Amino acid sequence: MDDALVIAPNLKRRLSGVTATVVRLIPVQARMIAIRATGPGLPPGVPHIPLIRAALMPRDRWRVWHARRNTEMALGLVLRRVLRRKYRLMFTSAAQRRHTGFTRWLIRQQDMLVATSDKAAGYLDRPATVVMHGVDTDVFHPPADRAALRRDLDLDPDAVLIGCFGRIRAQKGVDLLVRAGLRLLPRRPHVQILFTGRITPDNRAFADGLLPEIRAAGLEDRIRFLGELPWDQVVRHYQALDLFAAPARWEGFGLTPLEAMACGVPTVAARVGAYETLIRDGVTGSLVPPDNEDALSEALRRWLDDDDARAAAGRAARAHVAANHAIEAEARALVAIYNDLLARP
């Protein structure tokens, strides 16, 4: 494993958007360059070395340390300045907010900056190369038989399923979608809403506060919280959907709409993060103002009440992602940056 040229740390055990990026991207990049992930909680299919091994790599050549979190930037500095390892330091930022003083200091120590969108680049104090996320269209694809898949997942094969995947918290607009459902579902008995994702202790009161409203409407069997699912089951649940919703109040990049669209599922999303760049309004789904329950409800109503338009949007969504947001383009762009860093004297 000492032949690794790039180390991608993942210093978080639980599934998050950053971890999902590492899990899906590293195997693709490994076909292009000698790259390894390091850190806890990574699945077996990701090329990996133990963290202690990454910290003690031979000093025979320069390597790239590609961080995506503050902790990973800080560790890269320790490896280079304290342990004297020959790492070029690179950081990818998806955040669309003013960084703290400590983060800005860490950013100034990096040899290369990447941002996942033009908006994210605007919050960095230094020039950055924009490389947008992509998705693996071989993993995320429409199912061969959606009804059979639903039966296998214990989902209603005849329902119209709306999905919203990610952590259950106010930032993701979960409450907005629940209340849109309370408006729309009573007159549409075939429609259901599925939420997947972890509820952290600090968001338990938020999640629990939605349940009485759902029960009072008699919709507890049609607005369901499935909890945190294994990654392969998340993919299968995307494939089972008819419509995806991403009503976040704010977002860094936001990968879930791309994953849904790659599975042939049109998406209704708020105008936050990179969603305006990813979604073709009226073609592959709809864009609505953030934190606007009325606009969200109306956009969902449009797609729920027109089966033909929804099916056409699903086909357009798959074609759009395959043509413009395949993961191979992201991987190639990052590998080109790695090679530039490795070639510096």
Tell the residue number behind the tokens 């305006």, with chain if given.
276
Domains 6-134+326-343 and 146-324 are alike in CATH topology: yes
CB 33 within 8 A of CB 63: no
Contacts of 196 (CB under 8 A, 6+ apart): 163, 164, 165, 166, 226, 227, 228, 229, 234, 237
For the stretch 30-69, pLDDT in tens is 999 999 999 987 888 899 999 999 999 999 999 999 999 9
For the stretch 150-176, pLDDT in tens is 999 999 999 999 999 999 999 999 999
CA–CA dist 284, 64 (Å, integer): 37
Parse the chain into domains and list their residue ranges.
6-134+326-343, 146-324
| 253 pLDDT above the threshold of 90 | no
DSSP state letter for 144 = S
For the stretch 18-35, pLDDT in tens is 888 888 899 999 999 999
pLDDT of res. 2: 66
| 270 pLDDT above the threshold of 80 | yes
Q: First and final CA of the chain: distance in angstroms?
A: 24
The mean predicted confidence, pLDDT, of the chain is: 94
Q: What are 179's two structure tokens?
A: 């209340």
DSSP state letter for 97 = S
Which range, of 10-19, 65-74, 195-204, 249-258, averages the lowest pLDDT? Answer: 10-19
DSSP state letter for 201 = G
Q: What is the CA radius of gyration of the chain?
A: 21
Residue 1 pLDDT level (bands cut at 50, 70, 90) = very low
DSSP state letter for 273 = T
Share of the chain above pLDDT 70, in %: 99
pLDDT of res. 345: 87
For the stretch 297-345, pLDDT in tens is 999 999 999 999 999 999 999 999 999 999 999 999 999 999 999 999 8
CB 178 within 8 A of CB 224: no
307-340: buried (b, 16+ CB within 10 Å) or exposed (e) per residue?
Answer: eeebeebbebbbebbeeebbbeebbeebbebbee
Kind plus residue range of the DSSP H or E element containing 66: strand 63-67
CA–CA dist 66, 6 (Å, integer): 7
Q: Into which CATH architecture does domain 6-134+326-343 fall?
A: 3-Layer(aba) Sandwich (3.40)
CA–CA dist 325, 329 (Å, integer): 7
pLDDT of res. 257: 95
Residue 14 pLDDT level (bands cut at 50, 70, 90) = low
Contacts of 100 (CB under 8 A, 6+ apart): none
For the stretch 97-144, pLDDT in tens is 888 999 999 999 999 999 998 888 999 989 999 999 999 999 999 999
CA–CA dist 205, 173 (Å, integer): 15
Residue type, 92: T
For the stretch 180-221, pLDDT in tens is 999 999 999 999 999 999 999 999 999 999 999 999 999 999
Instruction: Give the dihedral of Cα atoms 69, 73, 74, 77; nearest 10 deg.
Output: 170
pLDDT of res. 15: 61
Contacts of 110 (CB under 8 A, 6+ apart): 67, 73, 89, 90, 91
In this predicted model, which residue has the larger pLDDT, 149 or 231? 149
Instruction: Give the dihedral of Cα atoms 259, 253, 173, 289; nearest 10 deg.
Output: -100
CA–CA dist 10, 276 (Å, integer): 28
CA–CA dist 234, 241 (Å, integer): 11
pLDDT of res. 202: 95
Fold adopted by 146-324: Rossmann fold (3.40.50)
CB 129 within 8 A of CB 135: no
